[in-house]
């Protein structure tokens, strides 16, 4: 049943008509549990609260299905606005973004043009930028753009997904860039041709990725809500005497908020991924796919209307 629901929500996440409708009707159906608001002002309020509790943040201006150069440029403008807000409001926050929002599916020139604008602003304002990883079809292109930008800018990182077979090789290939990487399980629907179909295999690969990357001496963000992986990481850094400044935990806004605070209180660096914007629908559906139990929030949201 869980598998069917996961497939269903991932299918819904790609629906363009529902995405457009959701934009019009505002944050609904319990989406505000996972999305900090529709405006940068609302996001700033949330970030300040998180910062006050000792949590650092990475902010993401949500955007799905960018079809034109104009839309991609507007997305980049919004990311630049977020960078300026981080500096202006003295927030403890980085920026995360998706290359499709910057025009990846339109042309390499466009995505590089927008990314260089963002990276120039990020450099000026001393903000670190992470390129999220999207579906397998875009993995190679995303890593290519990352490598181009990493040779021009220091303050940029990206994400690798434990469910992909190729990730082990990618970790080794990227090592020469001394990359700051966020390691995740992976959020998209992929075929068994490219991704481990069994959760236990993904979890084993996740642990392997963590060990390889951190022992290579590279900054490692372990982005998970999975207690087994968190415990593995805690044990690993203890055994290998890894300094706190070489790794951090990351979780999504609204998920295991109590555990986020506990980890801070235990002395670990903890970063919360805070999405905001009117384009919340696809992100929300992916979160439901991860945990169909969250559908209860949707039902409550519906009943409230």
Ligand X SMILES: Cc1cc2nc3c(=O)[nH]c(=O)nc-3n(C[C@H](O)[C@H](O)[C@H](O)COP(=O)(O)OP(=O)(O)OC[C@H]3O[C@@H](n4cnc5c(N)ncnc54)[C@H](O)[C@@H]3O)c2cc1C
- Cβ at position 27, least distance to ligand X in Å: 17
> Quick one: 76 or 252, whose CB is closer to ligand X?
252
Closest CA to 290 of 1, 35, 10, 103: 10
> Which SS3 state, helix, strand or coil, does residue 258 take?
helix
- CA dist., res. 299 & res. 297, Å (int): 5
Q: Is 182 annotated as catalytic?
A: yes
Nearest 5°: the CA angle 55, 56, 58 is 135
Tokens (6 digits) for 251:
């979780």
Which residue is catalytic, options 60, 170, 182, 286?
Answer: 182
- CA dist., res. 54 & res. 237, Å (int): 21
E-strand spans in the chain? 56-61, 93-97, 129-131, 156-161, 181-184, 220-223, 247-252, 270-276
> Quick one: 121 or 187, whose CB is closer to ligand X?
187
> Quick one: 47 or 184, whose CB is closer to ligand X?
184
Task: Write out the residues near ligand X by the rule CB under 6 A.
Answer: 132-133, 159, 161, 182, 184-188, 223-226, 250-252, 255, 273, 287, 290-291, 294
Burial of 64 (C-beta count, 10 Å sphere; 0-12/13-18/19+): buried
What are the two backbone dihedrals, phi and then psi, of residue 164, each rounded to the nearest 5 degrees? -90, 135
- Cβ at position 177, least distance to ligand X in Å: 18
Could you give the residue numbers annotated as active site? 132, 182
């Amino acid at each position: 049943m869980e598998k069917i629901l996961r497939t269903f929500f991932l299918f819904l996440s790609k629906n363009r008509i529902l995405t457009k409708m959701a934009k019009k009707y505002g944050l609904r159906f319990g989406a505000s549990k996972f999305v900090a608001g529709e405006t940068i002002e609302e996001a700033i309020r949330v970030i300040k609260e998180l910062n006050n509790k000792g949590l650092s943040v990475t902010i993401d201006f949500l955007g799905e299905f960018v079809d034109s150069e104009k839309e991609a440029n507007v997305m980049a403008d919004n990311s630049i606005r977020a960078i300026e807000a981080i500096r202006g409001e003295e927030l403890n926050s980085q920026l995360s973004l998706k290359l499709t929002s910057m025009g990846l599916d339109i042309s390499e020139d466009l995505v590089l043009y927008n990314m260089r604008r963002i990276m120039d602003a990020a450099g000026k304002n001393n903000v670190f930028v992470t390129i999220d990883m999207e579906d397998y079809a875009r993995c190679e292109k995303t890593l290519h753009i990352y490598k181009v930008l990493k040779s021009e800018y220091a303050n940029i990182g990206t994400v690798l997904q434990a469910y992909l077979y190729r990730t082990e090789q990618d970790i080794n290939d990227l090592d020469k860039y001394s990359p700051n990487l966020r390691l995740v399980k992976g959020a998209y629907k992929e075929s068994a041709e490219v991704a481990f179909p069994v959760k236990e295999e993904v979890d084993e690969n996740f642990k392997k990725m963590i060990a390889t990357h951190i022992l290579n001496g590279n900054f490692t963000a372990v982005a998970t809500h999975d207690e087994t992986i968190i415990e593995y990481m805690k044990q690993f850094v203890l055994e290998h005497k890894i300094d706190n400044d070489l790794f951090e935990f990351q979780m999504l806004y609204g998920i295991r908020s109590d555990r986020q605070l506990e980890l801070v209180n235990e002395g670990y660096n903890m970063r919360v991924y805070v999405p905001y914007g009117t384009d919340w629908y696809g992100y929300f559906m992916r979160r439901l796919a991860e945990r169909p139990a969250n559908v209860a929030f949707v039902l409550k949201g519906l009943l409230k209307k």
